[in-house]
Structure 1
Amino acid sequence: MATTPKALFCPTCRTVVLATGEDFPFCSNRCRILDLGKWASGDYKISSPIQDPDMLEELARSNKHNRQNDDD
């Protein structure tokens, strides 16, 4: 029984890409680099709120520490 390789769309140019491709999930190294550039420049953002209580505590401590340093 032969299985068909999984296919997705390249996140950059929307070309169909097979999971067996060398640059998967991208269609080429060029699209991979363009995507990385978008992350590096801040074009992509993760907008969901932080749900981890430990992370929220750490952020609160960090913000409090930064405000105290600003007052000095």
Structure 2
Amino acid sequence: MDNKIVDMHGNPRQQTQPPVSDFWFAQVDVRLGRIEFMVSRLERQIWLIVCGCAGLLIFEILKALSGGAQ
């Protein structure tokens, strides 16, 4: 299949080795993926804390409005 690829002038395409830096780019991609995973997990934890605090605040407001805080 590779020998069917030709350039614009009809000459067969020359096989070239990938640059050595592809390994380093792959390592960077893996590390960035891990960092993105950690950031998304931290974001979920922060939202959980914020929603929990908002829920407690709503319960306290309802308690105060119903006259439970005497």
TM-score, scaled relative to structure 1: 0.30
Structure number with bigger Rg: 2
- TM-score, structure 2 length as denominator? 0.30
Q: Which has the higher contact order (CA 8 A, sep 6+)?
A: 1
In terms of fraction of residues, the more strand-rich structure is 1
Higher helix fraction: Structure 1 or Structure 2? 2
